[in-house]
């Protein structure tokens, strides 16, 4: 018998019919673009985000994908700079990785936001803290799963009432988040009858904090509020310890007692208090499963707060893709609005009014656990208290 095209076609149809799934077109993959700080002062934070995203993507693919879709991720370095974030975000989005996540500096997220419609992309903040992300700069394509400054303030206010220090100093980064945090703390302190003696903002990547420390010492402040992260936080804490500032002035902060910073500072961090946005000891089924899987993959470690926040972003994204049945950014975005997601913090609502995920927030101190300095939670603020109402400045344009 001579083989002709009709025979070949019939044969191919038979083979396709005998192999389930082979005849169907594969679903589009989930393509995640992560423009983040892999070098520069925020490199440590960016690499934590990268580790967590890799962890989530590998886990999803090993389990057969999300809703039958493979997950792909691509990272580009932004050095924590707003202009580079815009450039790298564009590169990622226009090359198909248009589900963007996890820049570090708030300025980066604010630079990406206005471009999302033009790039046909969405952006999920997992680290940016400036209120404007879900406030006056919010738009239909921008979402946040981490705690904004306003949520941290909701934690600080009741804590501050219990403190005896009357005179305070503020040391923050000269960035959108630094100013946001400094102003919020200043307002909270003054509303409680405290005096802010010094409020100073150091440029991103400062190496010499001596003039700032001297000014705090000279001011006679009894308490110090610090809003610094990454290398800036470590440099400041080390120099403050050398100058004896941390021994003489009660020190508290936000992002200042993050896991990796405490690990790097060791004993120098002991006694510092502050806002803790996540702890691996969180008692929820989702978190227990996450920590167990993390320890299996990275033995001898527990997830840090920035790793957990990065993972939280992927949890929300994957569930939204499943709900939307699509990887088209606008569809995924719509699926996020007003949806309750199963997360490491428990069930959490992503508010449709300002695109903010509502999770509990925490306060704690640096203590010694098994001979190692670690942030320890001693106050939990429920999600509805930490996120009292949608940001009124958000008009959700675009």
Partner 1 sequence: MIRIAVFLFAGVAGALLPALLGSPLLLTLLTQAVINAILATGVGFLVRQNGLVSFGHAGFFGLGAYIVAVSTTNEWMPIGAALLVAILAPTLLALLLGAAMLRLAGVAFSMLTLAVAQAFYELAMRWRSLANGDDGIAAQLPGRILGLDSSLFQQAGSMFVICWIVLMLVLFGLSVLIAIPFGTLTLAIRENEERARFIGYHTILPRAAIYALSAAIAALAGVLFALYNGFVTPNVLYWGLSGEALVMAVVGGTRAVWGPALGALLFFLLKNAAGDLTEHWPAIIGGTLILVTVLLPRGASGTIALLMQRMGVRTA
**Which CB sits closer to partner 1, 175 or 280?**
175
CB of 272 to partner 1, least distance (A): 26
> How, if at all, do strands 250-254 and 223-227 pair?
parallel
**Which CB sits closer to partner 1, 223 or 230?**
230
CB of 178 to partner 1, least distance (A): 9
**Which CB sits closer to partner 1, 139 or 343?**
139
**Which CB sits closer to partner 1, 86 or 355?**
86
**Which CB sits closer to partner 1, 117 or 165?**
117
CB of 137 to partner 1, least distance (A): 8
Greatest extent of the chain over all pairs of C-alpha atoms, in Å: 100
| N- to C-terminal Cα separation, the chain | 64
CB of 378 to partner 1, least distance (A): 33
Got the DSSP string for 133-199? GGTTT-BTTEEE-S--HHHHHHHHHHHHHT----EEEEEEESSHHHHHHHHHHHHHHHHTT-EEEEE
* Paired tokens of 238: 């080390």
Query: 21: which residues sit within 8 A by CB, 6+ positions away?
Result: none
CB of 105 to partner 1, least distance (A): 8
Three-state secondary-structure class, residue 378:
strand
Q: Which secondary-structure segment (H or E) carries 383?
A: helix 383-386
**Which CB sits closer to partner 1, 67 or 174?**
174
The residues that touch partner 1, with contacts defined as CB under 8 A, are 38-39, 77, 81-83, 86, 90-91, 94-95, 105-107, 110-111, 114-115, 118, 137, 174-176, 179, 203-204
CB of 363 to partner 1, least distance (A): 27
């Amino acid at each position: 018998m001579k083989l002709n095209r009709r025979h070949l076609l019939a044969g191919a149809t038979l083979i396709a019919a005998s192999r389930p799934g082979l005849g169907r077109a594969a679903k589009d993959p989930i393509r995640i673009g992560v423009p983040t700080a892999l070098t520069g002062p925020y490199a440590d934070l960016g690499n934590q985000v990268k580790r967590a995203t890799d962890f989530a993507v590998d886990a999803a693919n090993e389990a057969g994908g999300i809703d039958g879709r493979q997950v792909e991720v691509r990272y580009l370095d932004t050095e924590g700079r707003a202009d580079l974030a815009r450039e790298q975000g564009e590169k990622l989005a226009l090359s198909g990785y248009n589900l963007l996540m996890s820049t570090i500096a708030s300025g980066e997220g604010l630079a990406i936001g206005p471009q999302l419609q033009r790039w046909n992309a969405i952006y999920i903040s997992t680290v940016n803290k400036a209120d404007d992300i879900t406030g006056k700069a919010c738009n239909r394509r921008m979402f946040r799963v981490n705690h904004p400054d306003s949520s941290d303030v909701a934690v600080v206010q009741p804590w501050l009432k219990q403190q005896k220090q009357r005179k305070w100093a503020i040391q923050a980064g000269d960035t959108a988040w630094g100013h946001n945090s400094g102003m919020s703390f200043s307002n909270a302190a003054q509303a409680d009858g405290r005096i802010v003696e010094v409020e100073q903002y150091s440029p991103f990547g400062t190496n010499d904090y001596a003039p700032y420390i001297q000014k705090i010492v000279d001011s006679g402040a009894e308490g110090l509020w610090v809003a610094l992260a990454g290398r800036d936080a470590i440099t400041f804490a080390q120099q403050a310890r050398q100058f004896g500032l941390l021994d003489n002035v009660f020190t508290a902060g936000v992002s200042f007692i993050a896991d990796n910073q405490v690990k790097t500072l060791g004993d120098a961090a002991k006694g510092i208090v502050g806002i803790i946005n996540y702890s691996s000891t969180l008692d929820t089924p989702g978190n227990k499963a996450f920590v167990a899987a993390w320890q299996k993959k990275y033995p001898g470690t527990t997830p840090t707060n920035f790793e957990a926040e990065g993972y939280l972003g992927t949890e929300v994204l994957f569930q939204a893709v499943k709900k939307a049945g699509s990887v088209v950014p606008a569809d995924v975005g719509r699926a996020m609005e007003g949806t309750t997601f199963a997360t490491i913090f428990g069930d959490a609502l992503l508010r449709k009014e300002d695109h903010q995920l509502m999770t509990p927030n925490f306060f704690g101190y640096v203590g010694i656990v098994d001979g190692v300095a670690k942030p320890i939670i001693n106050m939990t603020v429920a999600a509805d208290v930490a996120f009292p109402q949608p940001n009124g400045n958000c008009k959700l344009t675009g």
